[in-house]
Amino acid sequence: MRRIIIDTDCGSDDAVAIIMALKSKDIHVQAVTTVCGNIPVDLATKNALMTIEVVNQQKPPLYVGASKPLMKDLVTAIHVHGLDGMGDQNLIHPTLTPEKEQAVDAILRLVKTYPDEIEIVALGPVTNIALAILRDPETMKKVKHIYSMGTSGFGKGNITPVAEFNVYVDAEAYDIMLKANLPLTIIGFDLCWGEAALYKDELDMLLDSNVAEAVFAVQCNKTLLEFNFKRAGKHFVDLPDPVAMAVALWKEVSIETVACYCHTCIVDPLAYGQVIVNDLSLNAFYNSKHTSAPNAFVCKKIDHQIFKTKLMDVLTT
């Protein structure tokens, strides 16, 4: 049985990813930890608790984490996910409550308890992970693997021309994580477009299933659906966090992963939040001057059909 911690800034696509893990038979979710990002951490906490409650299967303890980035003011994505992060549909009324222990303390305790067993799926900014590294780097070396939904991968940014939102919120934290040389797989925003997105017929299938968590998954993404229609003229929901969770849960989803040297830009304001992804295919002169050994695996391609088939199945059964 695999042991995972889900670290989340729980907006609407995070909720779908959390459902996937909670309903996976061979996964034990040891904890959910919350962080600011899509929304302030108090709302992320309520949303994650509500998601756990809707699924009503595994009920992992939830620990509240960082309420602000390491060095800058919080930037949210309420224009994408709604003021409550979950489509502003009055869905969020959790009866579950968070634990008193702080998220970073819980992460370090669990890694100490299960050395070389804990996998962390980071669905938002990695502030909690960076704080854990700063506090106890030796313990964090015993993390089995980190899966990060972050960076624009091999594509363009989604909040600036070069930066992806999760990194942009706290690029200093991402820099700390990359420099810690922990076992890391990055699943970039570039993988959630096109065939990986859910379109109207698929969303209707989820609603028609009458399965509580499937209906919840559609309802909470209403604001995202409207946002995408305004900018692209199509009814679809892009799901970066479920794609990242799928790569973490199901090996067959990822069909090309490349060892890369990744560098976070934190100085130039125009490049802030960009992660330069070098697959080391450039000429030897450049690599010898500007790179080190690979510090992450970057997922380059997924099997869209396997991803969507498994996602629809886990949501509706």
Q: What is the pLDDT of residues 177-195, one digit of tens each?
A: 999 999 999 999 999 989 9
Q: Per-residue pLDDT averaged across 33-57, rounded?
A: 98
Find the domain containing 132 and state its range.
2-316
pLDDT at residue 235 in the model? 85
The answer to whether residue 290 scores a pLDDT higher than 80 is no
The answer to whether residue 117 scores a pLDDT higher than 60 is yes
Quote the mean pLDDT of the chain. Answer: 95
Tell me, what CATH number does 158's domain have? 3.90.245.10
Total domains in the chain come to 1
For residue 207 the two structure tokens come to 């609603």
pLDDT tens per residue across span 263-272 = 999 999 999 9
Sheet holding 145-149: strands in order across? 62-64, 27-34, 2-8, 118-122, 145-149, 184-187, 296-302, 254-264, 275-278
Least confident of 93-97, 113-117, 131-135, 191-195: 191-195
For residue 127 the two structure tokens come to 């502030």
Q: Per-residue pLDDT averaged across 238-252, rounded?
A: 97
The answer to whether residue 283 scores a pLDDT higher than 80 is no
Which residue shows structure tokens 């990060």? 148
The answer to whether residue 121 scores a pLDDT higher than 60 is yes
Q: Per-residue pLDDT averaged across 142-164, rounded?
A: 97
Residue among 190, 195, 139, 189 nearest 167 (CA): 189
Strands (E), the chain: 2-8, 27-34, 62-64, 118-122, 145-149, 184-187, 198-199, 236-237, 254-264, 275-278, 296-302
Least confident of 39-48, 102-111, 219-228, 283-292: 283-292
